[in-house]
Structure 1
Amino acid sequence: MENKNGIGRLGLTALIVSSCIGTGIFGITNAVAAAAAPGPALLSWLFVGIGFLFLVLSLNNLSEKRPDLEAGIFSYAGAGFGPLGEFISGWAYWLSAWLGNIAFATMLMSAIGTFLPAFKGGQNLPSIIVAIIFCWALTLLVNRGVESASFVNTIGTFFKIIPLVLFIIIVIIFFKGHMFTTDFWGNVANNFSKGTTTGSIFEQLKGTLSTLIWVFIGVEGASVMGHRAKTRSQAQQATIIGFVLLLIIYVMISIIPYGTLTRAQLAGAEQPALGNDLQLIVGSWGAMIINIGLIISTVISWLSWTMLPAETTMLIAKDKVMPKVWGKLNERKAPTTSLMITAVLQTIFLFSLLFTSEAYNFAYSLASAAILFSYLFVGLYQMKYSYKEKQWGQWTIGLIAALFQFACMVLSGWQQILLVSISFIPGFIIYYQATKENKRTLTGKEKGMMGMILILSLIAIYLVVNGTIVVS
């Protein structure tokens, strides 16, 4: 079925690339080099690339086999595990999306602070006020119509890619093979790797994992927006194209610099790391270009991530697992109520930047942990549906996708997973309101699952209070 007024292949591909390429890529050389030498870093990309490839393949298969499930990854959870499964998946995705916006705000104001000293550090009162203005400006833009916002996003994506391409060209020109191969596996401490992690290949791989997951969040964007695509096939093609483009860009930007600067230099660079890398290679003009690119990149990604959480609550409200007010559309078919509620919450949390010294790291680590729940449900439903249809190749794809997400949950840190569980305390209140609104009673299984998650949330609160989990 074709939607003539929908978003085309190019727009959807740009949405995926723009959603993923935000702030994380501008600090990736620092984070990866601090945790791993070139060899383990390449193995990390292989592991994460395979895992996300099977997630993408699962999304495409389910999009083709179940076009009736318009809510994308959330309705897959619902079809496989009932209304509560859809709510958990959608709530976690919504939480991840707007927490990512908090991370964007911190990095954006920090980048602006390199040009305007009043915003230096990105966490003072002027920074918070301007960030809130950005938040509401983007919210109002999306409220004028999602398709028009997608057009702006498509244009902006090309501009944000330019400094990244320039970075790749420069590091290739200055690449030195002998520097790249020095301590390739990171087993020996020397001047090239001073101040970085040494040890087993597994420990180095594990150390890079959360960073690589963070930069891939958004690859499912075409699936979430699939019901607004011109055709389902274009949404599927955009998902594959976007994934391949992202993987190429990420690997080149994070790996090639090992042959241009020492590992110690890469790990010790201040954020944004790409700007400081270029400053060491070509001078201050390189850092200036990267900072300008970071500002553009963050604003455009923030636009994408303003669209995605609103779409999330709208779609799951349509499936009657959230109160219908969350899915109410204006005359331009934008989910006004959802946009406004999300913007208010972001405004409140932006003020928290005044009280924490590591707002960016905290926000993006929670965003990464939250979205793993949504991704896990995709793999599990892929397995369940393929088992029912006796499609064993597709079942295997789902198995690998699910195992990858579960491994990421374990390896990326149990503290973040527990902290995410706290968000379900108000979430289940909203879910209960939806059941009453739709004259449905909670089943025994739902009560049991909700009880288990609430117990985890109480454990998390206790560990925060006694200092075992540090929130900073």
Structure 2
Amino acid sequence: MENKKGISRTELIALIVSSCIGTGIFGITTNVSMAAAPGPALLAWLFVGFGILMLVLSLNNLSNKRPDLEAGIFSYAGAGFGPLGEFISGWSYWLSAWLGNIAFATMLMSSLGTFLPIFKGGQNLPSIIVAIIFCWLLTILVNQGVESASFINSIGTVFKIIPLVLFIILMVISFKGGIFTTDFWGHVANNFSKGTTTGSVWEQMKGTLMTLIWVFIGVEGASVMAHRAKTRSQAEQASIIGFILLLLIYILISILPYGTLTRAQLAAGTQPALGSVLEAVVGHWGGVMINVGLIISTIISWLSWTMLPAETTMLVAEDKAMPKMWGKVNAKGAPTASLMITGVLQTIFLFSLLFTEQAYTFAYSLCAAAILFSYLLVGLYQMKYSAENQEWGQFTIGLLAAGFQFACMILAGWQQVLLVSISFIPGFVIYWQCCKEENRKMTAAEKTVIVLVLALSVLSIFLVANGTIQVG
């Protein structure tokens, strides 16, 4: 029986768009233009758009067929591949969430640098100290049971959307076809492409993949909200409409600037990139407008994303795939141990950004690489469930979803994926503690998977040591 009272289709669409649009879109023009000319960038959007659509369709199908699994994408991994599958999905998602906070921190401090020169660039010592203070203030607030009220999120959404709409309008007004078509495919190395990748279309496309995946993180939230919708069918429709709107916004934001500034100018822009572009096109007030909107929306988003890692470990611990400590809540309903562990790790990682030239890019690349593990397991479970029920159309969708995630791991993010595998060294110790706590013996299949992942982590350490993988 479907619930007559609940979140409407329009409200769900707004939630999906709001949850996905974070700091990533404010930095996208510089990161995309460094990697690709407009032609390859458009092809990359088509490729990523298709892959994310397959993920959304898989999530819709699983949400409809398995409404009993309400713990999000982790429970799909658990249903398909047991406790270890759920642990790998949850651990990867947890890692991705707090690495996303590192990207938030660097982008926030870069924005503040527009008004306070001491923070210029966002990754010097004053910036990192203030970011750490922010991190712990939000951690303490969440530990006191502070929850994200809908009206606060609404304020954040307004400050995200208004600057983006104005940016698109101003880019359309300033657009020049001659600039846009100059070296459309990025084959020619000249002053118009200085500081950017030139060469084959495929190489340029590969260079954008992690950036494009980063801005879609959060699209899985729609399936989690499906049980709160008026009807399941409305939730599925909202997922597709929300995805299409996001893709359209992202393409306009990242492609229109190619018609206002040269690739070299776009690639040389400081973060937040939209502020840099708008300041070059319309003057200082444009940069100020983008930065004010970004500062407010980032702080609000950061509050929500402080809760997300703790919520993740709590759900996985409830399913007995992590030790109980990670899910234990205090008197105000907050998982203190998980929050404190996450806060310490964020602090350590923020200090490490003193030693990398492009802190924001490094943080979001690792964030995107980590989420690929969780998304891959969704596609694999879609395949498994569909095969068991002989739904071969849905099986094909799952195959395409899993294939896309795996392709991104190999083609674009293999270095970041190997770096993420190092996190499973302490991770599997935690999983072993969980098995011991639950008096559950690890199966031969689980041991095999653990050995393979640990082998990748050892390889990663070796490649970092000999300089093959450049950290940051």
Question: How far apart, CA to CA, are the structure 2 residues paired with 1:264 and 1:289?
Answer: 24
Partner of 2:193: helix, strand, or coil?
coil
Contact 2:159 2:294 in 1 (8 A): no
User: Which runs of structure 2 are paired with 1:62-461 in the superposition (5 Å)?
Assistant: 62-143=62-143, 148-224=148-224, 236-330=236-330, 333-461=333-461
- 1:264 counterpart letter in structure 2: A
Q: Which has the larger displacement, 277-286 or 152-161?
A: 152-161
Q: Is the 1:15–1:304 contact (alpha carbons within 8 Å) kept by the matching residues of 2?
A: no
Distance 1:159 1:230, change over 3 A: farther
Show CA shifts across 1:115-169 (max 9, x none).
Answer: 1122223233332232123223333444455764454223211211111111101
Secondary structure of 1:452's partner?
helix
Q: Hey, what's the Cα distance between the residues in 1 that align with 2:137 and 2:214?
A: 25
Contact 1:128 1:351 in 2 (8 A): yes
Shift of 1:235: 5.2
Query: 1:434-455: CA deviations, max 9, x gaps?
Result: 1111111111111111111111
What is the CA–CA distance in structure 1 between the aligned matches of 2:91 and 2:3, rounded to whole Å? 28
Alpha-carbon distance in structure 1 between the residues aligned to 2:237 and 2:334: 25
CA shift for structure 1 position 306:
1.8
- The within-5 A match list for 1:16-95 is 16-95=16-95
Amino acid at match of 1:364: Y
Contact 1:96-1:367 within 8 A present in 2 as well: yes
Distance, in Å, in 2 between the alignment partners of 1:155 and 1:11 is 15
CA contact (8 A) 2:172 2:256 kept: yes
**CA apart distance, 1:2:** 8.1
Change in 2 beyond 3 A, CA 1:197/1:26: same
Q: Matches of 1:27 and 1:183 in 2, distance apart?
A: 23
For residues 308-333 of structure 1, the C-alpha deviation after alignment (integer angstroms, 9 at most, x for no partner) is: 21221111111100012222234554
Query: What letter corresponds to residue 431 of structure 2 in structure 1?
Result: Y
Partner Cα separation in structure 2 for residue 383 and residue 467 of structure 1: 38
Change (3 A) 1:194 1:314: same
Residues of 2 paired with 1:347 and 1:225: CA distance? 31
User: In structure 2, what residue type is equivalent to 1:70?
Assistant: E
Q: Deviations over 1:316-358 (max 9, x none)?
A: 1111000122222345544343233322322232232334433
TM-superposed deviation, 1:213: 1.2
How many residue pairs get matched? 472
**CA contact 1:222–1:235 (8 Å) conserved in 2:** yes
Deviates more, 1:249-258 or 1:270-279: 270-279
Greater shift in the superposed pair: 370-379 or 321-330: 321-330
Go from structure 1 to structure 2 and tell me whether the alpha carbon gap of 1:179 and 1:120 turns closer, same or farther (over 3 Å shift): closer
Distance 1:121 1:238, change over 3 A: same
| Residue 468 (structure 2) aligns with | 468
CA contact (8 A) 2:156 2:301 kept: no
| 1:13-54 deviation per Cα after TM superposition (whole angstroms, max 9, x unaligned) | 555434432222122112222222222111111110110011
- Kindly provide the amino acid, as one letter, of the partner of residue 287 in structure 1: G
- Equivalent position SS for 2:254: helix
Q: Distance in 1 between matches of 2:218 and 2:295?
A: 19
Counterpart Cα distance in 2 of 1:36 and 1:341: 38
Q: Distance in 2 between matches of 1:211 and 1:440?
A: 40
Return the alpha-carbon distance in structure 2 between the equivalents of residues 297 and 113 of structure 1: 16
Please give the alpha-carbon distance, in whole angstroms, between the structure 2 residues aligned to 1:302 and 1:235.
26
Cα distance in 1 for residues equivalent to 2:454 and 2:354: 29
| CA distance in structure 1 between the partners assigned to 2:361 and 2:30 by the alignment | 13
AA partner of residue 122 (structure 1): G
Q: How far apart, in 1, do the equivalents of 2:145 and 2:237 lie?
A: 24
**Counterpart contact for 2:53–2:243, Cα < 8 Å:** yes
Identity of aligned residues (%): 77
Q: Deviations over 1:160-219 (max 9, x none)?
A: 111111110101111123332333222334554344322221112112112111111121
Structure 1 residue 282 displacement after superposition? 0.9
Deviation, structure 1 residue 359 = 2.5
Name the aligned partner's letter for residue 438 of structure 1.
Answer: E
Deviation at 1:275, TM superposition (A): 1.4
Q: 2: distance between equivalents of 1:376 and 1:264?
A: 35
Contact kept? 1:375, 1:405, Cα under 8 Å: yes
- The question of whether the paired residues in 1 share the 8 Å contact of 2:148 and 2:304 is answered with no
TM-score, normalising length from structure 2?
0.92
Cα distance in structure 2, aligned partners of 1:379 and 1:53: 12
Whether the 8 Å contact between 2:148 and 2:303 is mirrored in structure 1 is no
Q: Distance between the aligned counterparts of 1:210 and 1:458, measured in 2?
A: 23
Instruction: Give the whole-Å Cα distance in 2 for the aligned partners of 1:108 and 1:145.
Output: 24
Q: Give the AA of the match of 2:217.
A: I
